A and B are shown apart, each in its own frame.
Chain A
Amino acid sequence: MEGLLGGFIVALKPMNLVFCFGGALIGTLIGVLPGLGPTAAIAMLLPLTIGLDPVSAIIMIAGIYYGASYGGSTTAILVKIPGEAQSVVTCLDGYKMAQQGRAGSAIAIAAIGSFVAGTVGALAIGLISMPLVEFAIRFGPAENLSLLLLGFIVILVLAKGNVVKSLIMIVAGLLLAMVGQDVITGQPRFTFGIPELTDGFGVVVVAMGIFGLGEVLENVEKFRTRSMQAVPVGSLMPTKEDWKRSAMPIARGSVLGFLIGLLPGGGATLASFISYGVEKKFTKHPEEFGNGAVEGVAGPEAANNAGAAGSFIPLLALGLPGNPVTALLLGALIVHNVTPGPLMIQERPEIFWGVVASMYVGNVMLVALNLPLIGIWVQLLKVPYRALYAALILFMIIGAYSLNNNPVEVLLLLLFGVLGYGLRKLRFDTAPLILAFVLGGPIEFNLRQTMMLARDPLDYLMGRPIALTILGFGLLLIVLPMFSKVRQKLMVARAVNEL
């Protein structure tokens, strides 16, 4: 508690408040630009922070991270362009809501959900990060694999329509994830001698191409047949009904996201998937999922923000970053002559507590910054699509190019755009493909690592209670709804009998 108080004293210094606000603002702006996600934002702005003292620098970078993560969901909702992997799920229902004239409401729910989750996350980091990290660090390949399989069950759960078609999309996504150098042996796979394919496809290019560019191409096709009337802007604020339906998903998403985020095999993206699946299971309106269900925005948005907070724990407590963003933060700490490691909390407590407090302050600022901005963002929808689409394409191209400073990325974006367009024409649901693509690499990797470490896989699994528990939970996710349906029928039957 004392530490947290000290942290607030550090974070609330006027200079640090300015850096926190600056970071959140720049981050939001960059996040809103398609293709430039948190990693790109931090990498680009890292040199700017070099002159600052370490605490201010980290506070500013954390602000950029939050801002960029949040800005990414705005484009996901408005124009179906996920700025990064963690807002892929937001595209599903957020974009549909925007199409129905509920863009303002979707963005507001996303902002509030993120705020609540960020607050829960900051508190949890401050209070219980040591015991949590002891738990998280025990996650080996077997545990990661079970967690990823859980994510996979969720994809199956959320797939809609023809089962065979969904399965084909899942397998296609997994196959796409195999392209590139095999991480275990270094052998190139499915690269057909093209050097640029050695590192595989980037998540951003795949998601932006299939969702974003695919959508743009489909709209281009309908320039003449569909009256390209701008989407109605509708009300800016969520309705009472929206609030009521979002409250529980936000609460669940916050807790779930935080727990998944702090695990080495987890992270914000997986957190958002799992939350989506869980909400689809809990909701009273499962038929609305994929057609603009507010729970499908609230839960995952809370989960990915809580996940982002959770992923700070291994970095802050042990100096072990779990994802590219925290790895960049580690780099930032090093630039500022802080040696990250298990001793950092003792040696430089002001950094740990400063970050925790600034997370909270940053979240307050983000909400204060973004709620008024909603009015401006939704104005974007008033721009005639025939003009807007050109700018969208340019932004996506720049985003793709900036990933590796290589025009080949633009060609890949185009390739996936055409693929997404084609699949939609053939009436395939592209969401399972992207989700499977995101999970594919880690699943194969952890499967093979587990097999390497286990002399007898079954025996090995029996000795890993955490992995078993997660797998059990996955099974529950499948079995529970069947059970509750049976119970509902029984209740109805009893009620009828009593009459």
Chain B
Amino acid sequence: MTGKTSSLAEALRPRLGAVVGIICGLIGTFASLQLPLGTSRLLGPGAVPLLLSLAMTGLSLALFVKPGPDEADADEEDGGLHGAAMVTLVVLMIGAFALLLTWLGFITAGTALMYGLYAIGEEKLVSAKALVRAVLTALAAYLLFVVALSVNMPAGSLWGY
């Protein structure tokens, strides 16, 4: 708990979840209403989702009105701006890996992802150690999963397979 930002965060935190919940509930309600609701004997595909979406909206509203006391594990410290940046980077890298995997192939994409992750771990942009580790991890994973366990990781269309 350091300074203003976190006390602001403490005030916003419970309500933020409630707002997201209300939005999800409303989207769900709208989407379920597009589906047939059926009769009580032949419940349609929309019936249960509609009920759940309404419950979601209602519960989130209740949370918004009365956020209640925070959970006991509030003693955990935040990672601050630096932490948020790290998480964003990791998320972006995994996303890029997923999108480029079929094109680059597993070994290339895997090495690149591992380099990025190790570099983040060391907090250095350029690191020979991270590169060596990345190549070794990707190769080991390739041998273990693709060669030994015959998991079908893509070879990469870039290389003409």
Contact = CB atoms under 8 A, between A and B. Distances in A.
Interface of A: 30, 33, 36, 44, 161-162, 164-165, 167-168, 171-172, 174-175, 178, 182, 184-185, 187, 189-190, 192, 217, 220-226, 384, 386-387, 389-391, 393-395, 397-398, 401-402, 405, 407-408, 410-411, 413-414, 417-418, 421, 423, 425-429, 444, 447-448, 451-452, 454-455
B43 A426 contact: no
Nearest to B93: A393
Contacts of B78: 221, 225
B133 A387 contact: yes
Interface of B is mostly: helix
A44 B149 contact: yes
Interface in B100-128: 101-102, 110, 113-114, 117-118, 120-123
B153 A451 contact: no
Given A164-B63, A182-B45, A414-B98, A394 B149 contact: no
For A33, A172, A386, which residue has the most chain B Cβ atoms within 10 angstroms? Answer: A172
B45 A189 contact: yes
B31 A189 contact: yes
Contacts of B42: 451-452
A455 B41 contact: yes
For A220, A395, A405, A410, which residue has the most chain B Cβ atoms within 10 angstroms? Answer: A220
Given A164-B62, A410-B94, A402 B45 contact: no
Contacts of B141: 394-395, 398
A413 B90 CA distance: 13
Given A175-B52, A426-B17, A223 B83 contact: yes
B77 A225 contact: yes
Interface of A is mostly: helix
A309 B17 CA distance: 41
A427 B14 contact: yes
In the complex, the 6 A-B pairs of residues with the closest C-beta atoms, listed nearest first:
A386-B121, A221-B79, A221-B83, A390-B117, A182-B45, A410-B98
Contacts of A394: 110, 113-114, 137-138, 141
B158 interface: no
A387 B121 contact: yes
Given A182-B45, A225-B77, A398-B145, A389 B82 contact: no
Contacts of B48: 178, 444, 447-448
A343 to B, nearest CB: 35
B1 interface: no
Contacts of A217: 87, 90-91
Nearest to B90: A220
B84 interface: yes
Interface size class of B (residues with CB under 8 A): 35 or more
A390 B80 contact: no
Contact of A225 (B21, B36, B80, B123): B80
A190 B17 CA distance: 21
B117 A221 contact: no
Contacts of A384: 121
Contacts of A36: 149, 151
Given A44-B149, A389-B117, A410-B98, 12 more contacts: A168-B56, A171-B56, A172-B56, A185-B45, A189-B35, A221-B79, A221-B83, A223-B120, A386-B122, A390-B117, A393-B90, A394-B110
A161 B67 CA distance: 12
A384 B98 CA distance: 26
B49 A448 contact: no
A405 B146 CA distance: 12
A447 B121 CA distance: 49
11 contacts: A162-B68, A168-B59, A217-B90, A225-B79, A225-B83, A390-B114, A390-B121, A394-B137, A401-B151, A405-B152, A444-B48
B40 interface: yes
Interface string B67-96: 011111110011110111011001100110
Contacts of B144: 33
B77 A226 contact: yes
Contact of B21 (A168, A182, A407, A448): A168
A407 B102 contact: yes
Contacts of B32: 189
Contact of B150 (A44, A164, A387, A390): A44
A192 B27 CA distance: 11
Contacts of B17: 165, 168, 423, 426-428
B99 interface: yes
A395 B137 CA distance: 10
B141 to A, nearest CB: 6
B55 A171 contact: yes
Contacts of A33: 144-145
A451 B120 contact: no
For B16, B78, B95, B121, which residue has the most chain A Cβ atoms within 10 angstroms? Answer: B121
A165 B31 contact: no
Contacts of B84: 221
For A387, A427, A447, which residue has the most chain B Cβ atoms within 10 angstroms? Answer: A427
B63 A168 contact: yes
A417 to B, nearest CB: 8
A142 B41 CA distance: 14
Contacts of A225: 77-80, 83
Contact of B74 (A187, A386, A387, A427): A427
